[in-house]
Structure 1
């Protein structure tokens, strides 16, 4: 594991990362989802794609990349762009899971892999809508609220909680529509966090993209690494 300090908008961001297969020439970078870290991505990909250099990154605020500043998804992309530019090699492929998919799309790499990406706003279940209403009432009454917080907000410092509230329901429809990267979408058939319908919508927005559906949920790539490898290599060879 290594760390780099990236200066951005007058602040410093410490980025924790790890490189596997360092002697390979073609590089694939992995961006994890919200509340996750690079170790989860390593679990899914470190044993496959051996002919590529792997770059695993902890996004600011997660894993070993501490953050106590409010930043937007676009800020995440700009910080990551500066980080990638500081490396002695280029990343031909960037793979992003969930929230990481939005960041990866903004980076506009030559080759983009979206793993159950976030970015399509879906109707919330009634139970979630009720929690939001109660949370707003508690906020109006200035009563501390922990019970009605999303699990994705648990353990976040105040700055990262504000980031979460900003990014959780972002609509990336127009950004996907303007994406010019060669794009592969890999999706879990039983995904409930970012339903398959979201993948189908994104695929319809990104010209020339390919959507492949695999068995599994939001973390399908942990259960089907060999199938993920087969589909990714087939796509990248075209």
Structure 2
């Protein structure tokens, strides 16, 4: 956690919000509220971002100083890949969030949404020598799916961006060693569902470690089968026509609406 905040001067342009950007803003604001619902927050720190359609690779990020429970479609900040605010506001953006998220938005065309967390269980597993174990129901679903990035200190050095991208490769799950968890996806639903899988795997692993006993191993063929099932069927609700995590995310958004949350504002 850091209190490094970058005051970014907004470009003197009129705020022009397309239909696609409006959808991205609503999806991202909902994502923040859902993470708040699950307790995946770190005061005013940590970030979830969404890339805005267009060749500029602009993306949306939380305004520094606001809690996840305060995020709305209208108070998200649009910045470019160099960290400049481009929505005409004078909003502040947290420097580490820009560093980590911009790296992946620049490099990965499929990473429209990126979420990074510092949950206790996630950081605990990130600090362990062997990282994530596949030998539980959730870990097995991620067998062979998780990338790792070594800790280099608080992520305010833009030079780390190339190494972050290299560590992630073509994967959509990453454990930042000694630091936390990160997932990405083409949709908010996909990025959320991946974080849910990764977080649950960490929770079960940490609780298993508390028993002080060796993990009961699963066979390699079962691990491969489970990962294949999770990635191709489970996350789609066993419906080939559904998007990755789509049904789960829609149900959570309905919960937000039923509770009267103002994330669409």
Which structure carries more relative contact order (alpha carbon 8 Å, separation 6+)?
2
Normalised by the length of structure 2, the TM-score is: 0.26
Q: Which has the higher strand share?
A: 1
Normalised by the length of structure 1, the TM-score is: 0.28
